Structure 1
Amino acid sequence: MDVQSDFTKDILIVTVPDNRIDAAVALQFKEAMRQATNNNAERIVLDLRNVDFVDSSGLGAIVGAMKQLPSNKSLDLSGLTPTVAKVFQLTRMDTIFSIYPDVETAMNGGDP
């Protein structure tokens, strides 16, 4: 799995172009995130607007991507589809991540 990354306003925006983060791609996703976040950005926004489905392995990979970051970096989420948002709510992961409706709101520091 490839992810797309772009610096904007000293924030690294990482976009998942695929529509699923599941067991089939979880390890590749985690490795792609490790490579994409290996830079000086202290804040990373993971843009999930294209993702329709996240299973437990995918959720674990997103959490793993957060945990592999140094303590001076943060990982926020944006653009969760209703199905993906429900997974985060049911697992209470919405209390762990700052979640924004879209990248623009995340970049402007809007209320999660």
Structure 2
Amino acid sequence: MTAIISMDGDVALVEVQATRFDAAEAPAFKADLAKGIAGGPRKVVLDLTRVAFMDSTALGALVSLLKMLGKDGSLAIAGAQPAVRRLFELTRLDAVFRLAETVPDARALVRG
């Protein structure tokens, strides 16, 4: 999976470039993020603007990311398309992950 990780002060911005985030992509995504945030930022904004489809394996990778950040970490998801947002709602993970419409809104949530 192609994900671009950049820094904005104390916040890591992870931009997912794929339109599908599924079982084929999740392992590489999880490994890339583990390397990208190891010993680094504890505040992460995940930009899912381009993602039109996501499955339960991808959700598992996001749960793993949340665990990697630890209790002092903060994660917000920006730009979830309607089908992706609906997956969060159906699995009730919208209560676990903070969803924002835009990247600036998500940054505000993690800095909050």
Q: TM-score, normalised by structure 2?
A: 0.89
Counterpart of 1:98 in structure 2 is: 98
User: What is the DSSP-based 3-state SS (H/G/I as helix, E as strand, rest coil) of the residue aligned with 2:69?
Assistant: coil
Contact 1:19 1:50 in 2 (8 A): yes
| 5+ residue gaps, structure 1 | none
Counterpart code for 1:17: Q
Q: How many residues align?
A: 110
Counterpart of 1:14 in structure 2 is: 14
Greater CA deviation, 35-44 or 51-60? 35-44
Counterpart of 1:108 in structure 2 is: 108
Counterpart code for 2:27: L
User: What is the DSSP-based 3-state SS (H/G/I as helix, E as strand, rest coil) of the residue aligned with 1:18?
Assistant: coil
In 2, Cα distance between the equivalents of 1:34 and 1:104? 24
Counterpart code for 2:35: Q
> Runs of at least 4 residues of structure 1 off by over 3 A?
none
> 1:43-101: per-residue Cα shift (whole Å, max 9, x none)?
10011001111111111111112112233212211110001000000000000011110
Contact 2:76 2:109 in 1 (8 A): no
In 2, Cα distance between the equivalents of 1:42 and 1:26? 21
Seq. identity, %: 35
Greater share of helix: 2
Counterpart of 1:49 in structure 2 is: 49
| 5+ residue gaps, structure 2 | none
Greater CA deviation, 59-68 or 75-84? 59-68
Contact 1:14 1:36 in 2 (8 A): no
CA RMSD of aligned residues (A): 1.6
